[in-house]
């Protein structure tokens, strides 16, 4: 018996929804493709991973009259194969058949599941959004690398017993950078180095001078110089990346909303200065594209808004409601019911860039006096920091979704009403407890 026919018998039988469907098991060195068994005798074939092999896959699928293809989202290997009507599916949803795991069986199983309509398509952004996403993710990596070299600078200073970081809050600031440049230029006198400190530093002149007295060993100076140059090299690349992101946003404005170009040139208020702030007015571009300023939401900064849009795109109508949106972000409980009872509501651990941006925005609200900050502290006191972060991230995501889809401005009045309603409810409970104590 033919080997492919023997393997196909191990695949379960379901009603067919997509008769012209194929399945691909994606890997680094090979692509195993399965087409419907009735279309060709050898319905499972293994191809290479080079560009010429990808063209061969496309030609073979056309010969087999394939209209739709399903494949797992394995790393980035699937990107070059994204052709036809492709269903990019979650690897967790594609369970292998029992028995020995083999690539040809996996491909046939994916093809069978897809032909029966049992696989849901994953969200994929358009080309403009994908380009923006690649740039924003690359910028994030550069910032992470720059922070690592800043830590190395601080470590070398500590090895030389230079304690300037104990009197200056941030050695990446103007005073810290001026001192580093002076050290690398050959200055060793603590009094002269202290001259570069800003007058607004709270530490006394004597403390600053003491912190700049150390051991000037040559190998440490060499390492300091290397780390310093790399740190500024990375920041130069970050500025170049900002320029490329601005070009991408300008192209999106021109393509989607040409009338928004005039709004970019107008003065648009930005949030207060913060670390790693982009070198251009991100708020103006996002407002011109979306039609509303999402940075007005408490906790959402320019860079977090840019990161979210680079992952979701600017058209959130792809999600039917805010429930679908928050579920995709990984901020909604994974509620499971049995016999009309909730048996589990554990939140899935998703490594999601957009969801992580919302969680970072939520975790920054611990000291905020806004209604959302009050909500975060209330949940944190009852359920802990982890659940409070996810619950607050979901609330921010819902506000974000409705602002973008409905083109409305941020309205804190609704949040204030909700906060006041909770306070009134809490007062009633305390009054009842007080009455019971008096009656006792």
Task: Choose among 388, 364, 258, 244: nearest CA to 306.
Answer: 244
Residue tagged 């083999």 (tokens): 102
pLDDT at 1 over 50: no
Annotate 64-125 with DSSP letters as a single string.
TT--EEEEE--TTTTGGG--SEEEEE-GGG-PPPSSS--HHHHHHHHHHHHHTT--PPPP--
Tell me how far apart the alpha carbons of residues 375 and 423 are, in angstroms, rounded to a whole number: 11
pTM: 0.76
Stretch 22-38: mean pLDDT, rounded? 82
pLDDT in tens, 364-411: 998 888 889 989 998 898 888 888 999 999 999 999 999 999 999 888
Helix (H) or strand (E) holding 221: helix 218-256
pLDDT value of residue 147: 94
Query: Per-residue confidence at 224, pLDDT binned at 50, 70, 90?
Result: very high
pLDDT value of residue 8: 47
**Dihedral over alpha carbons 26, 31, 37, 40 (to 10 degrees):** 160
Sign for the CA dihedral angle at 379, 381, 387, 393 comes to positive
Tell me how far apart the alpha carbons of residues 248 and 285 are, in angstroms, rounded to a whole number: 10
DSSP bridge partners of 233: none
Separation in Å, CA 29 to CA 26, 32, 84, 114, 422: 9, 10, 22, 24, 58
pLDDT in tens, 106-157: 777 777 777 776 677 666 778 888 899 999 999 999 999 999 999 999 999 9
Sign for the CA dihedral angle at 125, 130, 136, 137 comes to positive
Tell me how far apart the alpha carbons of residues 425 and 96 are, in angstroms, rounded to a whole number: 52
Percent of the chain residues topping a pLDDT of 70: 83
pLDDT value of residue 249: 92
Of 38-52, 79-93, 252-266, 356-370, the range with the highest mean pLDDT is 356-370
Query: Per-residue confidence at 102, pLDDT binned at 50, 70, 90?
Result: low
**Dihedral over alpha carbons 379, 382, 386, 387 (to 10 degrees):** -60
DSSP state of 349: -
Stretch 418-439: mean pLDDT, rounded? 86
pLDDT in tens, 297-338: 998 999 999 999 999 999 898 899 999 899 889 888 777 776
Mean pLDDT of the chain: 83
Sign for the CA dihedral angle at 155, 158, 162, 163 comes to positive
Task: Choose among 55, 63, 65: nearest CA to 18.
Answer: 65
State the CB neighbour count (10 A cutoff) for residue 234.
19
**Dihedral over alpha carbons 201, 202, 207, 212 (to 10 degrees):** -20
pLDDT value of residue 24: 82
Residue tagged 């404005």 (tokens): 253
Task: Choose among 404, 392, 330: nearest CA to 362.
Answer: 392
How is residue 182 written in tokens?
């002076």
Do residues 152 and 227 touch, judged by C-beta distance below 8 A?
Answer: yes
Q: Between 166 and 357, name the one with better pLDDT.
A: 357
Number of H helices, E strands in the chain: 16, 7
Helix (H) or strand (E) holding 25: strand 21-26
Tell me how far apart the alpha carbons of residues 353 and 88 are, in angstroms, rounded to a whole number: 18
pLDDT value of residue 31: 84
What percent of the residues of the chain are helix, what percent strand, and what percent coil, each to the nearest 5? 55, 5, 35
pLDDT at 99 over 90: no
pLDDT in tens, 274-298: 778 888 889 888 988 888 899 999 9
Lowest mean pLDDT among 1-15, 28-42, 230-244, 252-266: 1-15
Task: Choose among 120, 14, 109, 107: nearest CA to 57.
Answer: 107
Tell me how far apart the alpha carbons of residues 20 and 84 are, in angstroms, rounded to a whole number: 12
Tell me how far apart the alpha carbons of residues 271 and 269 are, in angstroms, rounded to a whole number: 7
């Amino acid at each position: 018996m033919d080997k492919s026919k023997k393997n196909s018998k191990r695949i379960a039988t379901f009603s067919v929804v997509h008769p012209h469907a194929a399945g691909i098991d994606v890997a680094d060195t090979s692509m195993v493709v399965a087409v419907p068994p009735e279309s060709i005798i050898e319905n499972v074939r293994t191809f290479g991973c080079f560009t010429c092999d990808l063209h061969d896959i496309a030609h073979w699928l056309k010969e087999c009259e394939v209209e739709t293809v399903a494949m797992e989202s394995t790393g980035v290997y699937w990107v070059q194969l994204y052709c036809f009507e492709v269903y990019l599916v979650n690897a967790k949803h594609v369970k292998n058949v029992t028995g020995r795991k083999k690539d040809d069986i996996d491909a046939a199983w994916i093809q069978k599941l897809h032909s029966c309509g049992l696989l849901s398509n994953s969200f994929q952004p358009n080309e403009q959004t994908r380009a923006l996403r690649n740039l924003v993710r690359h910028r994030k990596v550069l910032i992470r690398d720059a922070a690592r070299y800043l830590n190395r600078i601080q470590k070398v200073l500590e090895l030389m017993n230079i304690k300037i970081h104990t009197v200056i809050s941030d050695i990446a600031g103007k005073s810290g950078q001026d001192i580093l440049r002076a050290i690398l230029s050959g200055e060793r006198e603590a009094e002269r180095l202290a001259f570069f400190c800003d007058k607004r530093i709270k530490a006394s002149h004597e403390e600053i001078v003491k912190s700049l007295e150390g051991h000037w060993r040559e190998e440490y100076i060499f390492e300091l110089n290397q780390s310093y140059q790399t740190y500024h090299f990375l920041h130069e690349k970050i500025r170049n990346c900002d320029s490329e992101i601005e070009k991408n946003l300008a192209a999106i404005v021109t393509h989607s909303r040409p009338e928004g170009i005039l709004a970019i040139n107008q003065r648009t208020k930005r949030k207060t200065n913060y670390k790693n702030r982009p070198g251009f007015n991100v708020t103006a571009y996002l407002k011109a594209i979306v039609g509303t300023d999402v940075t007005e939401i408490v906790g959402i900064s320019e860079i977090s808004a840019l990161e979210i849009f680079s992952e979701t795109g600017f058209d959130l109508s792809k999600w039917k409601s805010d429930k679908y949106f928050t579920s995709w972000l990984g901020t909604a409980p994974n509620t499971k019911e049995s016999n009309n009872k909730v048996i589990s509501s554990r939140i899935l651990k998703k490594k999601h860039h957009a969801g992580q941006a919302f969680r970072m925005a939520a975790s920054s609200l611990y000291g905020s006096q806004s209604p959302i900050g009050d909500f975060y502290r209330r949940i944190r006191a009852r359920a802990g920091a982890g659940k409070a972060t996810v619950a607050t991230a979901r609330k921010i995501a819902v506000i974000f979704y409705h602002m973008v889809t409905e083109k409305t401005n941020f309205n804190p009045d609704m949040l204030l009403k909700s906060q006041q309603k909770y306070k009134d409810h809490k007062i009633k409970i305390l009054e009842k407890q007080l009455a019971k104590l008096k009656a006792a």
